Structure 1
Amino acid sequence: MTADLWSFATTLYAKPGVEAACLTLQDAGADVCLLLAGLWLDSRGVAHNPEREGQLRQAAQPWQQAVVEPLRTLRRAWRQTAQTDPALAALRQRLQQLELDAEREQLARLQTLSEGWPGSTEGNARTWLKELTPGGTITARNASDHLHASQAH
């Protein structure tokens, strides 16, 4: 088990299929940083409860909306034009790094908020992930299942 959330998230993200699952969930409306924090909490055996979930959402939402999403929106908007404009491609690359830095900061904030929450070895696997994953579509559920399976290995 990886101690800090950033290392946990980057290790998990590097596993086959995880990036695609995260992007599918993101397109379904999920905050991927929040999902990764949930998986981290699940891996630590931290019991889910609605109050803690609310605290995480309250910490994540303003940063996600004010910082991460605008960077992502701009980066995506530049995708097509950047393919034929080298200067814009370079700026888009820098923007992508800023987006990653913003996600790292969000994960750090979520870790700080939750690191004092007691964990256990008792099985409550998937509780956080289940509660934080937007439901409704089979694709989102499949992506969530893939994330959980990847985290277990």
Structure 2
Amino acid sequence: MHTDLWNHALALYARPGVEAACLELQALGGDVCLLLCATWLQVRGVAVREQRVTVLREITEPWQRDVIKPLRCLRQQWQAAAQSDAQLAVLREQVKVLELQAEKALLERLQERSRQWPVGAHEPTDGWLARLAPDQARHHDALVELRVAAAALQDAEDGA
């Protein structure tokens, strides 16, 4: 099992179909960092509690709004023009790197905040994705894809 959230997120995101599922969930209003955190918490056996869901959202929402989304919007805004402007393409790649660094920082914040939550709970731990996905994504195929990929990653890591 990946012990830190960043490496878990990288391993899961690299699995077939996960990138597309995450982008689809993002288009539906989902926070990909929060959803990747959900899979990590589930793998670690952290019990789902309303207070914990609230804490994670309180960390995520302002960081997404104030840091990640402005970088993503700028990168997307420059996409077409960067096709024919080499200097803008270089700047766009730099913004993309900043966006990734901002996502990593968010995952580190989520990990740090959840560090004291007990692992290996005897309470239900499989509701994290449902609780952290936006309403319109709760029964979407992309969320199922993410759930299946996370289970497959865990099985592979457990040697099953």
CA displacement 1:66-99 (0-9 Å, x = unmatched)? 0000000000000111111111111101100000
Asked if the contact 2:137–2:143 (Cα under 8 Å) also holds between the matched residues in 1, the reply is no
Aligned counterparts of 2:115 and 2:125: Cα–Cα separation in 1 = 18
The Cα of 1:39 is off from its aligned counterpart by 0.8
Aligned pairs for 1:92-131 within 5 A: 92-120=92-120, 122=122, 124-131=124-131
Query: SS in structure 2 opposite 1:71?
Result: helix
Give SS of 1:62's match. Answer: helix
Q: In structure 2, what is the equivalent of residue 41 of structure 1?
A: 41
Q: Which residue of 2 aligns with 1:67?
A: 67
Q: Distance in 2 between matches of 1:127 and 1:137?
A: 14
Q: Return the alpha-carbon distance in structure 1 between the equivalents of residues 137 and 127 of structure 2.
A: 18
Unaligned 5+ segments in structure 2 are 153-160
Distance 1:77 1:120 in 2: 44
- Residues 135 and 141 of structure 1 are in contact (CA less than 8 Å); yes or no, is this contact kept in structure 2? no
List runs of 5+ in structure 1 lacking aligned partners: none
What is the identity, as a one-letter code, of the residue corresponding to 1:52?
R
Which residue does 2:140 correspond to in 1? 141
Q: Which runs of 4+ in 1 moved over 2 A?
A: 121-126, 135-138
What TM-score comes out, normalization by structure 1 length? 0.94
> Are the counterparts in 2 of residues 126 and 148 from structure 1 also a CA contact under 8 Å?
no
1:120 partner amino acid: G
- For 1:134, give the aligned amino acid: P
Give 3-state SS (helix, strand or coil) of 1:136's partner: helix
Show the counterpart of 1:50.
50
Aligned residue identity for 2:46: V
Question: TM-score scaled by structure 2?
Answer: 0.90
CA RMSD, aligned part only? 1.5
Q: Which residue of 2 aligns with 1:80?
A: 80
Amino acid at match of 1:10: L
